[in-house]
Amino acid sequence: MRILQLTPQFPFPPDDGGRIGIANIYYEFLEQGNDVDMVSMSRFPIKQSEIEKYKKNGNISIIEMDTKNTKFRVISYFLKNKSLYIEKQYTSDLINKIESLVDMSLIDVIHADHSNMARVALELSEKYRIPVGLRLHNIEYLIWKRFFEGLGKFNPKRVFIGQQYKLLKKLEAKFISDSDISFAITKEDKRRALELSPKANVVIASAGVDIEDWKPNFSVFKEPFSLVIATTFNWFHNVNAVHWFLDNVLPILNSKYPNVTLKIIGKNPPSIFDNYAELGANKLGYVDKVKPYFNSTQVYIAPLFVGGGIRIKILEALSMGLPVVATDMSAEGIDADESQGLIRANSIEEYSHEISKLFDDDVLRVELGKKARKFIEDNHTWKSNVKIMIVEYTKLVSSKKSKAL
């Protein structure tokens, strides 16, 4: 089977949740015997050497596209009553550009990563009569809606964000309805997708972890009273989450455990995080290898209050044998509980209490880490979840061929 994979970004190196999801789907498509033509949109030129480094035995092409959220663009889409999230990833000549890169006569199925790739995928599907699948990494409108609901009553952003989530909700409903199949990442997202489009074909194919790569070493020394978070700070909700923890939880922990440390890993952390160094915050920024930091740390934190889908970094932390203390929002879509190493905390008091329990009980912490690893092995491998997509795509292709006879 030959798959055209359309992505809103070049997903390499796979160093944040969004890239990790797309990259591993690509690799598993290849690993499980398919041919793949990936076409990625990118704000920046990508060197051919980078493409060669990551493409393996597939094909990767780049379409440069300016998707920066400028003030002019925001005002323009607001006045036009159009979705910023969808429209900025589409141009009138996009179909022609894809056709110049890929021989569409060879393609059996189109795979669109994220809702903002659905418009062009569906246009190609209609033109070439090729089945299309939509990977719902998130129910995107819901992220915008949650952001809207968190804004103050008199915040001027409410007008724009309110407009945008409603526009996006309508578009996502249409995209899910028009796609031959949609792959939700969680049970909850499947329910939400069917609320948008009750007659749609929606199947759960969760996110995963390469369990051979993300393997813990329980013999490595764990720094006492150590915490870690790894994320990307290009998304301001992640900045707000860490800032909340630094302002509210870390001071409490520092008063009880003067040697507490929090390693902050990820691209573009704001300079304000440096102000918390005396409390134990260590702003590391981007690192090539996250795993050594996971191996040497006792607890992973995920204090996000706005989001959707599934947090792949939480899955990776659990796979590395780290107990995770997370808000309900961060833990959404992961069917693990406290006994499996995923501990939920939604207030300052809950967060400081749960982390203290783990700091104070080495036996409990290690046991929960081992159970966390077992949970990932049983439920969240890329191989098993991408296999679900391949099976469904094979059915669609076979059905198309049968109808053609």
**Residue among 86, 81, 80, 155 nearest 115 (CA):** 86
Q: Which two tokens stand for residue 385?
A: 């979840």
Res 217: pLDDT: 87
CB 319 within 8 A of CB 209: yes
Q: Cα–Cα distances in Å, from 239 out to 234, 269, 304? A: 8, 7, 9
Q: How many angstroms separate the CA atoms of 6 and 257, rounded?
A: 48
Q: Which two tokens stand for residue 2?
A: 């030959």
Place of tokens 């009880």: 256
pLDDT tens figures, 17-30: 789 999 999 999 99
CB 69 within 8 A of CB 38: no
Q: In what order do the strands lie in the sheet with 109-113?
A: 59-64, 35-42, 2-7, 109-113, 132-136, 181-184, 202-204
Domains along the chain? 2-208+382-404 (3.40.50.2000), 226-379 (3.40.50.2000)
Place of tokens 């194919």: 205
Res 132: pLDDT: 98
Q: Cα–Cα distances in Å, from 175 out to 94, 129, 134, 146, 222? A: 18, 16, 8, 21, 47
Place of tokens 């990820």: 266
Q: Cα–Cα distances in Å, from 25 out to 11, 113, 341, 389, 398? A: 11, 9, 26, 9, 21
Phi/psi of residue 283, nearest 5 degrees: -80, 100
Q: Is 260 helix (H, G, I), strand (E, B) or coil?
A: coil
Question: With 90 as the cut, is the pLDDT of residue 363 above it?
Answer: yes
Name beta bridge partners: 61.
39
pLDDT tens figures, 161-181: 999 999 999 999 999 999 999
Q: Cα–Cα distances in Å, from 314 out to 33, 73, 77, 270, 304? A: 29, 34, 35, 22, 11
Question: With 60 as the cut, is the pLDDT of residue 405 above it?
Answer: no
Give the N- to C-terminal CA distance of the chain in Å, as an integer. Answer: 19
Question: With 90 as the cut, is the pLDDT of residue 232 above it?
Answer: no
Find all residues with CB under 8 Å of 183, minimum gap 6, and list them. Answer: 133, 134, 135, 136, 202, 203, 204, 205, 388, 389, 392
The stretches of 332-361 forming alpha helices (DSSP H) are: 348-360
pLDDT tens figures, 36-61: 999 999 999 999 999 999 999 999 99
Q: Predicted confidence band at 234 (pLDDT cuts at 50, 70, 90)?
A: confident
pLDDT tens figures, 69-107: 999 999 999 999 999 999 999 999 999 999 999 999 999
Q: Is 114 helix (H, G, I), strand (E, B) or coil?
A: coil
Res 296: pLDDT: 95
Find all residues with CB under 8 Å of 149, minimum gap 6, and list them. Answer: none
Name beta bridge partners: 294.
none
pLDDT tens figures, 257-268: 999 999 999 999
- Cα 113 to chain centroid, rounded: 11
